[in-house]
Structure 1
Amino acid sequence: MATSDIEQACINVEVAFAEPHRQHVIALTVPSGTSAREAVSMADLSILFPERGTDFFSHAPLGIYGQALREPARHTLVEGDRVEVYRPLEVDPKQARLARARGGD
């Protein structure tokens, strides 16, 4: 296989995860045809966030640039995609708005 074939067989993507006080974006070169779920596994975020554990990252909801993926294990990435790992909300947005409206900040 020629070098140009190898280069074309891979794409560059990012995998991002954020908590309130820290975030990490991992740049990866992955084989063409890699799914969003596979890219998260390749990013090995559990090393950076050991308190979350590998099970969390294996099952967390995923999105691409803010668009949630219905089937992340079947979503094939394209060059430049940024896979976002979503965490559960700590506060219900409706309750937060209600508390602000009542002056409870």
Structure 2
Amino acid sequence: MACADGGPAITVEVVYCPRPGAVDRVALQLAAGTTVADALRLSGMLERHGLAPAGLRLGVWGRLCEPGSALRDHDRVELYRPLSLDPKEARRLRHQRQRDNRANRDKKPAKVGRRA
């Protein structure tokens, strides 16, 4: 397959998950040598989701990359959302919840009434 300029074309996919369970993907036919930044600009993801390019974390197939990285045929460009909670804090809260549940489960119910 060839691009409009006559050079070889590559197929890439740009993917963003704006929230858990929702995926926005755009498949693009681009010229060989296209960068991650070019694919991101041509996909329209930044405008569609109101994202600022500064400080945006990008990856190709789950590996972080720079915006100037060249793409290859069948690459998947991924835009990463910031974490909603620090992993260490999430682990601490989960452990506290498990400890509280265990303590409540181990308590014996109070006896009501009297025995004859």
Q: Same fold (TM over 0.5)?
A: yes
TM, length-normalised to structure 1 = 0.78
The residue number in structure 2 matching 1:99 is: 93
Structure with bigger gyration radius: 2
Measured in 1, the distance between the counterparts of 2:40 and 2:13 equals 9
Measured in 2, the distance between the counterparts of 1:5 and 1:88 equals 37
- Per the TM alignment, residue 33 of structure 1 is displaced from its structure 2 partner at its CA by 0.4
Runs (4+) off by over 3 Å: 4-8
Greater RCO, CA 8 A, separation 6+: 1
- Provide closer, same or farther for how the CA distance between residues 30 and 19 of structure 1 changes in structure 2, counting only shifts above 3 A: same
- Per the TM alignment, residue 8 of structure 1 is displaced from its structure 2 partner at its CA by 5.7
Percent of counterpart pairs with the same letter?
31
Q: What do residues 8-50 of structure 1 show as CA deviations (whole Å, max 9, x unaligned)?
A: 611000000102242201000011100011101100013432x
TM, length-normalised to structure 2 = 0.72
Q: How does 1:4-83 map to 2 (within 5 A)?
A: 6=3, 9-21=8-20, 22-49=22-49, 52-53=50-51, 56=52, 58-59=53-54, 60-69=56-65, 71-73=66-68, 75-83=69-77
Compute the RMSD of aligned alpha carbons. 1.9
Unaligned runs of 5+ in 1: none
Confirm or deny that 1:84 pairs with 2:110. Answer: no
CA contact (8 A) 2:40 2:46 kept: no
Unaligned runs of 5+ in 2: 99-116
Report the 3-state secondary structure (helix = DSSP H, G, I; strand = E; otherwise coil) of the residue aligned with 1:13.
strand
Measured in 2, the distance between the counterparts of 1:45 and 1:19 equals 10
